[in-house]
Structure 1
Amino acid sequence: MAQRFTRKEIEARNRRDDAVIIIDNVVYDVTHFLDDHPGGVEVLLNNAGRDASRCFHDVGHSDDAKQWRQRFRLGEVVDEDRWEVIREQAAAPDTEHELTLSGLINVWAPPLFMGALAILAYIYLFS
């Protein structure tokens, strides 16, 4: 069973030699990851002892980073201190760009017109 922590216990763990963060009610010990974090030490230390869920999701970490963070998992927040987890919204399917004749004309008409005009100017000037 996973170890359980209160948010009050996590608040005290905000130093370089004991840095713990919370992401989506899961507790991570990032003490040994500080110097290796691609975003720098300061980002983790600024969030140490706190809930870093919004910061983590706002940055847009890769799926690899999300899987890799499991190496630092210590446990979970106790049920009484749990916060609502903010789920990332999946991108909506791109349905507003349907291929139509009018769209094709709007895209290709200007360059074709300019090309025809350039050919006529070339014939007039150099023939």
Structure 2
Amino acid sequence: MAQQIKLFTREELKCRNTRDDAILIIHNGVYDVTKFLDEHPGGEEVLLDNAGKEATEPFEDVSHSSDARALMQKYKIGELVEADRTQTKGPYAPQWSNDQAQESGNMRAWMVPIVLAVAATILYRYLFA
């Protein structure tokens, strides 16, 4: 039998912003980071500054590693109710994998400028040699 996901409202989470009860909302997921405060590489202040509220933007601005993203699943305690969810499309859509296809896409993005630079060099040498 599948485990039931606990649902929270933003209203009930906004007061959970202390060192003894620190909750973050990231991509509509609810994370209890109270036990992680002392372990967080960026210090507890950054977590407490965002506790009890939406933390997707600051989380994504830091560009957390895939290891950090995997670790955060340990602290997930639920999700926001449907009415309180935000759209995660755009610059802060979750990008939770380091797929090989994504890496090869990055290589392709570099290939066009490299090919153009080589072609420009050959053309320059041909015309001015």
Given the two structures, how large is their TM-score scaled by the length of structure 1? 0.75
Deviation at 1:12, TM superposition (A): 1.1
> SS in structure 2 opposite 1:74?
strand
Distance 1:17 1:104 in 2: 65
Given the two structures, how large is their TM-score scaled by the length of structure 2? 0.74
> SS in structure 1 opposite 2:113?
coil
Distance 1:47 1:101 in 2: 50
- Residue of structure 2 in register with 1:100 after alignment: 118
Deviation at 1:103, TM superposition (A): 2.6
Which of 73, 82, 93 is 1:87 aligned to? 93
Identity of aligned residues (%): 44
Work out the number of aligned pairs and report it: 106
> SS in structure 2 opposite 1:60?
coil
Amino acid at match of 1:35: D
Deviation at 1:101, TM superposition (A): 4.9
- Residue of structure 2 in register with 1:76 after alignment: 79
Once the two structures are overlaid, the 10-residue window that deviates more, 56-65 or 90-99, is 90-99
Q: Which has the larger radius of gyration?
A: 1
Distance 1:104 1:35 in 2: 57
Q: Aligned-residue CA RMSD in angstroms?
A: 2.1
- Residue of structure 2 in register with 1:61 after alignment: 64
Distance 2:122 2:34 in 1: 56
Residue-by-residue CA offset, 1:24-64 (whole Å, 9 max, x unaligned): 00000000000100000100000000110000000000011
Which of 6, 11, 16 is 2:14 aligned to? 11
- Where do 5+ consecutive residues of structure 1 fail to align? 107-127
Distance 1:69 1:4 in 2: 18
